[in-house]
Each structure stands twice: as C-alpha cells, then as structure tokens.
Amino acid sequence: MAKPIVAIVGKPNVGKSTFFNYLAGTRISIVQDTPGVTRDRVYAETNWRGRDFTLIDTGGIEPESQDIILSQMREQAELAISMADVIIFLTDVKQGVTAADREIALMLKKSKKQIVLVCNKADNFEKDRNEIYEFYNLGLGEPFPISASNAIGIGDVLDEIYEKLPPIDEEDDERQEIKVAVIRKTKCPENHL
C-alpha cells in the first residue's frame, strides 16, 4: 500500500526544517538562522501509531527578498495543496499572526484539504498561551503549540495528523508514484536529491 503524503508549509524561519528533522529523526534538512540558503532536502519516510507516511519539508531554497518570499510561499502552498493528503501549516508564535500567515491560511482553507495548524517556538506554553489564542483567527481550527527545538507538543501534532490521514485503502500506488515524481521535478530541478 502506498503511503500518504504529509507536507509542511509556512514562512521562512518558522522552524519547518527543525520540525521536519525531528520527525525524520535525522538532520537531512538544513536549519538556518537566517532565511536564504536552505538548499536541500526534504523527504522522509516516517510513521506514527503504525501508519507510515512520507513527510515533505516544502522549504527548499528560502529567498531573502520579501516579494520573492511571498511568491515562493504561494507556490509551496499550491504544491502542498495539489500533492499532500495532510498539510501542516507551521507558524511562529513569537511573531504572532502575520499578513503572510493570513494569506497562506486563506489558500489552505479554500483548498478543503486536511490542515493541521501548528504554532512553533512555543518554548513556554504558559507564557505563550495568549499568543497561541490569536491563531484561532486564521479559521483553521485549533492551533497546536509546539517547540520543535525542545521537542515539546510533537505527539499531539502527530496524533492530529494520524486522525487526518486518508483511510488505509484509499491510496493507490500509481497515484502515489505520480505525486512523488511531480514533487521531485518541481522541488529538485537540478537534481539535488
């Protein structure tokens, strides 16, 4: 049986690669202090509660210019919408809700895909609580606070992903192969795999 695809989308620097690496259990994706240089890579086979899935960090090359950041975020969200079974929308609780978050949220909402809204950098749940509430305004349901770098809250996110995965016999192998081929083509034009 083919595996469902779970994609992580979000602005540069919210912690997508940190979260991905933690779930992948390896440091295949490059973590950057400043957006701009992340080049590699982005797939991991993982599982939770006995369900296997392919996890994708859509971050890729993260540009510095605001305009390019926005257009790339749109592209990444579109890619995730077209390919993924479940989309993890990662935000940064320390920044609060930004215009870019609102725009991505709108795209995701319209898509009718399964979305898990995650507020990263909630290093201290008590202290960050009020900021987390603000994320309900995105209209994507309950925000899940996590601290990817401190491995806090991850189990709840995985449980939510698990709940939103398609039923076991809905995936077919051929469709999965096509999806992965398209992602590779889109994300790795120079064969950086």
Ligand X SMILES: Nc1nc2c(ncn2[C@@H]2O[C@H](COP(=O)(O)OP(=O)(O)O)[C@@H](O)[C@H]2O)c(=O)[nH]1
Residue 121, CA distances (Å) to 37, 105, 149, 151 in order: 21, 19, 8, 10
Does residue 126 touch ligand X according to CB under 6 A? no
Residue 28, CA distances (Å) to 10, 18, 20, 42 in order: 18, 10, 9, 7
Cα–chain center distance at 96: 17
Chain positions 162 to 191 lying near ligand X, rule: CB under 6 A, are none
Does residue 59 touch Mg ion according to CB under 5 A? yes
23: which residues sit within 8 A by CB, 6+ positions away? 44, 46, 55, 154, 158
Does residue 18 touch ligand X according to CB under 6 A? yes
CA nearest 57: which of 68, 147, 32? 32
Cβ proximity to ligand X, 2 vs 188, nearer residue: 188
Q: Please select the residue that binds ligand X; options are 147, 153, 157, 161, rule is CB under 6 A.
A: 147
Cβ proximity to Mg ion, 17 vs 46, nearer residue: 17
Chain positions 22 to 81 lying near ligand X, rule: CB under 6 A, are 31-33, 35, 38, 59, 62
Smallest gap, in angstroms, from Cβ of residue 27 to ligand X? 11
Cβ proximity to ligand X, 14 vs 24, nearer residue: 14
Cβ proximity to Mg ion, 38 vs 114, nearer residue: 38
How many helices (H) and strands (E) in the chain? 6, 6
Helix (H) or strand (E) holding 9: strand 5-9
Count of beta carbons in the 10 Å neighbourhood of residue 193: 10
Does residue 17 touch Mg ion according to CB under 5 A? yes
Sign of CA dihedral 124, 95, 151, 167: positive
The first and second tokens of residue 77, run together, are 């969200």
The option from Mg ion, ligand X, none interacting with 40 (CB < 5 to 8 A, set by class) reads: none
Q: Please select the residue that binds ligand X; options are 14, 55, 77, 165, rule is CB under 6 A.
A: 14
- Per rule CB under 6 A, count of chain residues that contact ligand X: 22
Binding site for Mg ion (CB under 5 A): 16-17, 38, 59
Binding site for ligand X (CB under 6 A): 10, 12-18, 31-33, 35, 38, 59, 62, 120-121, 123, 147-150
